[in-house]
Structure 1
């Protein structure tokens, strides 16, 4: 470990020294407001060779909209302190507003495919986010955390989806345990979606996108002061899209509308309130396609292949209301209160082909699975806090205290009808007919399952900490979060009229946090940090006691640097996560569990983001990650290798490299041409199952599909005709690479999901 650390630090210092040697003073026109603040890392603002852009004072130092940058001044996701990337003793990234525009990103999942260190996998047609080998199961909006899925029984029970990216200024990413900002989660990391805010001056943006497979999207964004003094400001954002697909099923659509308002109650008190509505209709490809035949040969099906009914559909509707009030007592102390309410509903119905075994065209064993999910969730979150500064021993230090309460209630109505054999319909993968599958009577008495599952999660937490500055060079963050999590769940069987007893699970735990940074030169710092997070589990032992929570420990160390006054950031880190108390089958009683499972994730993160020169922006990251079982985990399933030392995350690539860079070319007058290109590479992956062991007791030899490493190339070109109008072209997967998404439960016969082919999007944008 020491040897690896020495190498990593040497590489980081070498890279940083090289950058420093080339970091001459740069001047660049900044299209957005820049900030005059002595504590901001962007004190050295860019100016053009001709004229210096007008400087505006803004209150949000972390805002990326209009800056043209691929980085941000400050982030709150890791500690809540509003530190710069270099000051934060954990691995953090930001997907800025400019990067989102350059790549024409519309939703959170597609955006995170470009985030360093983040792997995206397909889970029953829904994309899931994975960081350092662990799924991200909580996500934040403006610092308030909530569950990603709002599900009781898995991905098909989802009742909500992410809000459209048009409503956000940026996407902040933390890799590693988010123990200071949230509870009840996995230790891989979290994502914070930061909403756009109203502007004091009139601003109007609208766009029209025309893309492959009948993709059409229109947006508008208007903001201004609503009174003469400017003490009341508002912003209205709308989205309407037709979401086409390359597969053989009908297109989806989305509509979204939201407003956010700010009120200066006094010169020190700010009230913010907003409401967002969104409704989306999509056709999910639930089980994907079979990949291999009975002899282990690749079926090599067309990417357009879709083995579902023509009535398959899902509709999600979401209302999100939020408000915040903050008061600045003086230059040092501020208090705030945040309230967030979300109501989500999701209806999924499908008849889709599924089957674990390899597909045999002569005698297919697959069947049509008929299911309907009527899901709903309501959640309310309250957060109160005080941030401030105090002076001790000649230095100023930061202090923070906050408390949070939340309640999330998920209701999932699951109806499953008897499956239909392919043979009875005369269907196969080479003569598929979506219209041949009739929609069942979901209210019929022949349902094999008709249950409602209800789960309520209550969370209470108190967080406190300080950033103590020993000197101008040495800084330490010490803090912790005490959290209490309670689960209340039951189910109702509508076939029998029976209702289960309520299951109550209550667990409390203190999660400490510590981080140390050393600014060994003006622009370079070394750090080390430790963070924890826990997650209650429902499994019980032989004494019928609920097992202790799963606990994840994240420790990392690295070197971070800033160049050009914070316009360019670099970082390299070594990390280790250990997750213990994982529920495994009791070897003495298979009906119960013991909390003895243990997994270790190790790796290295390296990243560069921001502006290299006045016209050249870049975001790039490399991640190596290996997860293994530290203890053999006996499971009831015999087709997965849970032995000590086995790969615990075969469906997550060990190597990932992501790069996107753009260069701006000035033309005549205000005309500009921006050209960008990038690549996303990942190493090989497979499902969790072992070869020749899936069909135990069967004469069929079982094969496991694998996805070899691959690279996807993207590019964009944007022509700024004048200060108001621009036109752009975005090309994704330029080489038209054929590949499968990462999927944990891939088998030869199902759960293989093709990635998107090459696509083109033409964009027209107007701003005033």
Structure 2
């Protein structure tokens, strides 16, 4: 019989005197599972890291490095935090990290995450996910999520293609891999708005060298918005081969499918402004027969690590990923809007034309990344040298077609005070994609981490060559560009004491904007960050990172207000401020999470002088997260866990011209769980007080709002055997 740390009442009462000391040492003294003393047939297991604190990361430097030795903010969300808070989406998990935007599930096909105000890349097992709008990633097999704040120069430059580069930072997801431990987990959930689903994680050693693992999930739910639903299907098989200490090979496959009904949000009139009329929060401005939108991702990822000698290791990462998006949507254009449905104004009670479009995109990416890592000494200095190349080739084919050629799906207007929506009109599409884009990234990099006494230095340089072939005959686009750039990354950490350190770092990033329509070849977008901060490492149970940052971005691709449907590069933007991330293990049973950011994110240079000084779209000046959890470990309540949190955001600009703001909000969440034997039952509540408010949507670049998620309750049951 195996007993997890949280399998409490009967066994703990019977064997308290014999196992309490061992269990506490295992849970809070850093002892790994294989080091725990066995008492007969009882085995006490614990996580590798204590509570919510992760001691080292590889995502921040591409080599396993203690967090306190990295001269840049790197914050981790471990598996334990995801499970304790009942996170359903990547956005749910990332609310525990400062300075990352929240994404509403109804907006997930339109937006990527922003870190410190600028777009980020989402990397899964070392490979950037392109075009799948990453809040739709599954968490079922996520072992940890590392957030790297700011451009990383010599780190992930190959992700500079596809429009979602590392200008603001990187979200690196590491999935669970096969191991030599037999594991059987299955879970079920049911909740508000018809939510239901199941997930599983099965790991099986095949022999001392081989192991197989498969994780998956199935979930369905409706929403507050009329007819809008969410479906997810995911399957992640993996196989590992570890014949000895010198060789390790892991093969991962992935299949992920999300389906929903496209939602174009609601106009400001009738929501934020109710002086003329009021729209119900559940309003969905769409035909009753609108086809669903699907987002399918599949891929294969192979990682091989080989020890060459005592000093050098070779690694090879190769992957193929394919994303297919099929999105059909409708929205309203007032009587002043131009034909083609390429723009819309504030909706009025009458004379609103309903427009429709279908966007289909198929993105295929091949990745090849060999590297060498060496550990050696020169005099008093200890080096970790990493060098390698990244090659990435992306094929991006797509179609954008409008209902009835120009957009309107019916000659009849829609009156939002008494709406009668016309039936869907399927756009006519040709067999040849409208756009046929090709992106090729060739990169070479060199990085050295040097430790000398209390000093830890990092220096790296990356040479990137990115070629873009952007062809869109329907729009008269035929742009070919080739851009090269050296991006450095430098920094230093000084340990004042074993628990307190100071750090400073500088990094640059670049990307060639894509997935946008330009009338001429675009210039590379570039970003630079200077960061100064300090860290606490388990000081009276507190682990924290506090950083001041100055992050700039130039040659930014935004919508062209004078030419709807096209993009322009509008000068320079800057985000400057302070963010704080703290984890406090107050007692072995009581943990706290705090995340706070204050920043000024604005346009500093633009061809349109009226935009200078405007706050960046959908980027707040202040955000905060405070959460706590208490797990009863003894007595009659042993096995019970309670959690409570709040998330605050300052007002949000609804457009790049700041024509309106959504109000500041504070939203509460709560969790309750009970663990007995191999079962864990949970109750998770989002928006505990059922606060009614709106947030900006990114549909067509903003200008409308989404009614934020109402109170939702989810009951869960998870079993291990």
Q: Matched residue of 1:101: which SS?
A: helix
Judged with a 3 Å threshold, the aligned counterparts in structure 2 of structure 1 residues 423 and 379 are, in CA distance, closer, same or farther, namely: closer
What does the per-residue CA deviation read over 1:37-73, in whole Å, with 9 as the maximum and x for residues that have no partner?
xxxxxxxxx9667675774359xxxx99675722312
Q: Compare 330-339 and 522-531 and name the one that shifted more.
A: 330-339
Matches within 5 A, 1:700-739: 704-722=659-677, 724-739=678-693
1:394 aligns with 2:411: no
Judged with a 3 Å threshold, the aligned counterparts in structure 2 of structure 1 residues 538 and 341 are, in CA distance, closer, same or farther, namely: closer
1:329 aligns with 2:284: no
2:83 aligned partner: 101
Q: Matched residue of 1:126: which SS?
A: coil
1:360 aligns with 2:345: no
1:170 aligns with 2:139: no
Q: Matched residue of 1:753: which SS?
A: strand
Matches within 5 A, 1:2-17: none
1:759 aligns with 2:721: no
Q: Matched residue of 2:264: which SS?
A: coil
1:741 aligned partner: 695
Judged with a 3 Å threshold, the aligned counterparts in structure 2 of structure 1 residues 751 and 459 are, in CA distance, closer, same or farther, namely: same
Judged with a 3 Å threshold, the aligned counterparts in structure 2 of structure 1 residues 96 and 294 are, in CA distance, closer, same or farther, namely: closer
1:476 aligns with 2:457: yes
1:428 aligned partner: 415
1:439 aligned partner: 424
1:522 aligned partner: 498
For residues 442 and 276 of structure 2, the distance between their equivalents in structure 1, rounded to whole angstroms, comes to 51
1:267 aligned partner: 245
2:361 aligned partner: 375
Q: Matched residue of 2:695: which SS?
A: coil
Q: Compare 269-278 and 244-253 and name the one that shifted more.
A: 244-253
Of 265, 277, 292, the match for 2:255: 277
Q: Compare 516-525 and 257-266 and name the one that shifted more.
A: 257-266
For residues 286 and 754 of structure 1, the distance between their equivalents in structure 2, rounded to whole angstroms, comes to 12
Contact 2:33 2:46 in 1 (8 A): no
1:191 aligned partner: 171
1:73 aligns with 2:55: yes
Distance apart, 1:95 and its partner CA: 1.4
Judged with a 3 Å threshold, the aligned counterparts in structure 2 of structure 1 residues 510 and 706 are, in CA distance, closer, same or farther, namely: same
1:536 aligned partner: 512
Q: Matched residue of 1:98: which SS?
A: helix
For residues 64 and 271 of structure 1, the distance between their equivalents in structure 2, rounded to whole angstroms, comes to 26
Q: Matched residue of 1:240: which SS?
A: strand
Contact 1:287 1:353 in 2 (8 A): no
For residues 454 and 422 of structure 1, the distance between their equivalents in structure 2, rounded to whole angstroms, comes to 27
Q: Matched residue of 2:632: which SS?
A: strand
Matches within 5 A, 1:593-632: 597-609=571-583, 611-631=585-605
Judged with a 3 Å threshold, the aligned counterparts in structure 2 of structure 1 residues 721 and 200 are, in CA distance, closer, same or farther, namely: same
Distance apart, 1:294 and its partner CA: 12
Q: Matched residue of 2:56: which SS?
A: coil
Contact 1:383 1:402 in 2 (8 A): yes
Distance apart, 1:766 and its partner CA: 0.5
What does the per-residue CA deviation read over 1:269-321, in whole Å, with 9 as the maximum and x for residues that have no partner?
01110211122221121243443489873855332111112233101222111
1:559 aligned partner: 534
Distance apart, 1:752 and its partner CA: 1.0
Distance apart, 1:545 and its partner CA: 8.4
Of 107, 115, 118, the match for 1:134: 118
What does the per-residue CA deviation read over 1:106-125, in whole Å, with 9 as the maximum and x for residues that have no partner?
23233323432101356686
Distance apart, 1:738 and its partner CA: 1.5
For residues 701 and 505 of structure 2, the distance between their equivalents in structure 1, rounded to whole angstroms, comes to 39
Distance apart, 1:583 and its partner CA: 7.3
For residues 764 and 386 of structure 1, the distance between their equivalents in structure 2, rounded to whole angstroms, comes to 44
Distance apart, 1:93 and its partner CA: 1.1
Contact 1:120 1:742 in 2 (8 A): no
Judged with a 3 Å threshold, the aligned counterparts in structure 2 of structure 1 residues 546 and 667 are, in CA distance, closer, same or farther, namely: same
Contact 1:609 1:618 in 2 (8 A): yes
Of 221, 240, 252, the match for 1:243: 221
Of 308, 329, 334, the match for 2:286: 308
For residues 122 and 651 of structure 2, the distance between their equivalents in structure 1, rounded to whole angstroms, comes to 28
For residues 69 and 112 of structure 2, the distance between their equivalents in structure 1, rounded to whole angstroms, comes to 29
For residues 270 and 310 of structure 1, the distance between their equivalents in structure 2, rounded to whole angstroms, comes to 53
Of 600, 613, 634, the match for 2:607: 634
Distance apart, 1:599 and its partner CA: 2.3
Gaps of 5+ in 1: 1-28, 33-45, 151-157, 494-498, 587-591, 692-703
Judged with a 3 Å threshold, the aligned counterparts in structure 2 of structure 1 residues 488 and 420 are, in CA distance, closer, same or farther, namely: closer
Contact 1:71 1:568 in 2 (8 A): no
Distance apart, 1:650 and its partner CA: 4.5
For residues 569 and 283 of structure 2, the distance between their equivalents in structure 1, rounded to whole angstroms, comes to 43
For residues 682 and 281 of structure 1, the distance between their equivalents in structure 2, rounded to whole angstroms, comes to 29
1:119 aligned partner: 101
For residues 747 and 551 of structure 1, the distance between their equivalents in structure 2, rounded to whole angstroms, comes to 21
Contact 1:205 1:767 in 2 (8 A): yes
Q: Compare 126-135 and 403-412 and name the one that shifted more.
A: 126-135
Judged with a 3 Å threshold, the aligned counterparts in structure 2 of structure 1 residues 215 and 399 are, in CA distance, closer, same or farther, namely: same
2:198 aligned partner: 218
Judged with a 3 Å threshold, the aligned counterparts in structure 2 of structure 1 residues 728 and 501 are, in CA distance, closer, same or farther, namely: closer
2:446 aligned partner: 464
For residues 270 and 152 of structure 2, the distance between their equivalents in structure 1, rounded to whole angstroms, comes to 40
1:549 aligned partner: 524
Contact 2:194 2:221 in 1 (8 A): yes
For residues 210 and 125 of structure 1, the distance between their equivalents in structure 2, rounded to whole angstroms, comes to 25
Judged with a 3 Å threshold, the aligned counterparts in structure 2 of structure 1 residues 31 and 337 are, in CA distance, closer, same or farther, namely: farther
TM-score by length of structure 2 reads 0.85
Distance apart, 1:131 and its partner CA: 1.3
Q: Matched residue of 1:110: which SS?
A: helix
1:56 aligned partner: 33
Judged with a 3 Å threshold, the aligned counterparts in structure 2 of structure 1 residues 373 and 397 are, in CA distance, closer, same or farther, namely: same
For residues 520 and 348 of structure 2, the distance between their equivalents in structure 1, rounded to whole angstroms, comes to 46
What does the per-residue CA deviation read over 1:107-166, in whole Å, with 9 as the maximum and x for residues that have no partner?
323332343210135668634311111122x2211222343x26xxxxxxx7x8743110
Distance apart, 1:263 and its partner CA: 0.4
2:633 aligned partner: 666
Q: Matched residue of 2:80: which SS?
A: helix
What does the per-residue CA deviation read over 1:619-654, in whole Å, with 9 as the maximum and x for residues that have no partner?
2111111123333x124xxxx9323xx124152100
Judged with a 3 Å threshold, the aligned counterparts in structure 2 of structure 1 residues 686 and 577 are, in CA distance, closer, same or farther, namely: same
Gaps of 5+ in 2: 8-19, 36-44, 335-343, 561-565
Judged with a 3 Å threshold, the aligned counterparts in structure 2 of structure 1 residues 569 and 331 are, in CA distance, closer, same or farther, namely: farther
For residues 577 and 330 of structure 2, the distance between their equivalents in structure 1, rounded to whole angstroms, comes to 41
Q: Matched residue of 1:120: which SS?
A: coil
Contact 1:599 1:648 in 2 (8 A): no
1:13 aligned partner: none
Judged with a 3 Å threshold, the aligned counterparts in structure 2 of structure 1 residues 687 and 641 are, in CA distance, closer, same or farther, namely: farther
Contact 1:263 1:271 in 2 (8 A): yes
Of 627, 634, 644, the match for 1:677: 644
Q: Compare 259-268 and 318-327 and name the one that shifted more.
A: 259-268
Distance apart, 1:450 and its partner CA: 9.7
What does the per-residue CA deviation read over 1:694-729, in whole Å, with 9 as the maximum and x for residues that have no partner?
xxxxxxxxxx4421111010010101122x011110
Distance apart, 1:105 and its partner CA: 1.7
1:7 aligned partner: none
